[in-house]
Amino acid sequence: MTLEPFGARLRRAMDQRGPLCVGIDPHAALLADWGLSDDIAGLERFTHTVVEALADRVAVLKPQSAFFERFGSRGIAVLEQAVADSREAGALVLMDAKRGDIGSTMAAYAATYLDPSSPLFSDAVTVSPYLGYGSLRPALDLARESGTGVFVLALTSNPEGAEVQHAVRADGASVAATMLNHLRAENADAAPMGSFGAVVGATLGGSLGAARADLDINGPLLAPGIGAQGATAADLPKVFGAAVRDVVPNVSRGVLRHGPDVTALRASAERFAAEVREAVSAADPAAG
C-alpha cells in the first residue's frame, strides 16, 4: 500500500515533534565513550538505547548505514531491527546510505531502501547525484510510487565537496545549483511540502552567497552540522534565509554524547528541538 507522500508526513512530524533529525552513528569512538565494546553486542546495546530514548519523540532518526555494514550481516540485522522499531514508535527513518549508481544497480539500491517489501524499508534515503542527476531516476520514481523521500547531496559541509559542487557548468550554473533546480522541478505543485530534498550543510554560513536563492525547492533541506560541527540553531536563518521553515537540522554527536543515559539523551534532543523551533519561529512567524 502506498504511503501518504513523505513530504506531507515529514511536515506533520516536524510540526508535532519539533524540527529535528538525530543521527544514529555507532562509530568505534562513541561506543567507547558509552563504555561499550566495538562488536555486535556493543552495536546492539547502543542502537537499542538510542531508539528507546528517541523514536517516540523526535521527528526523524537517521541511521548511518556504514557503521552497521562494517559488522557484516549481523550488523545489517541490527539495522533492520532499528528501522522497524523506530518506525513503529512513530519516528520517520532517513537511511543515510549516500548511494549513487546507474541503471539496474541504482534500481537495486532504490529497492533496498524504498520498496515496502524490503527488510530495510525506510521513509527516505540519501543519494549521491555525481553520476548525473538522471542516474537517480530509479530512486526518484520508486519514492514517488511508494510515498517515500529522497535527499540528494547538493551543498555538503565537508570542505572537499566544493571542488565538485561549486564547479560551474558551461551554462554558468554551478553543479549544486543544477541539483537544486532539478529538485525544485520534482517538487512542483507539491503541498504542504515536496518529498525530494537536498543535503545542505548548516556550517556553510556566508559561503553560500548567491546559492541561497536556489534553496527554495519546495522540499526539505537536511542540514548536518548542528552541535559538534560548530553550527547552532541560531545560525539557521542566516544560512537558509527564506527556506528556513523547510530545514531539517541533523544532530548526531551533540545528542549521542549524552548516552547511554536515556533521560539525558531525551533531554538533549528536546533542548536542540526547542532551540531550532525558537530560531525558525523568530525568522518566520508563520512557522510558530
Q: Which residues contact 280 (CB under 8 A, 6 or more apart)?
A: 19, 236, 237, 244, 245, 247, 287, 288
Tell me which residue has cell 500500500.
1
179 near 129, Cβ under 8 Å?
yes
Active site residue 62: no
Q: Which amino acid is at 132?
A: G
* H helix intervals, 115-257: 137-146, 162-165, 175-186, 236-240, 253-256
The helix/strand count (H/E) of the chain reads as: 12, 8
Question: Does an H or E element contain 127, and which?
Answer: strand 124-127
What distance in Å separates the CA atoms of residue 215 and residue 202, rounded to the nearest whole number? 12
Question: With 0-12 CB in 10 A as exposed, 13-18 as middle and 19+ as buried, what is 223?
Answer: buried
Strands 92-99, 60-63: parallel, antiparallel or unpaired by DSSP? parallel
CA 182, distance to chain mean position in Å, is 18
**From 57, 87, 98, 271, active-site residue:** 98
Active site (catalytic) residues: 98
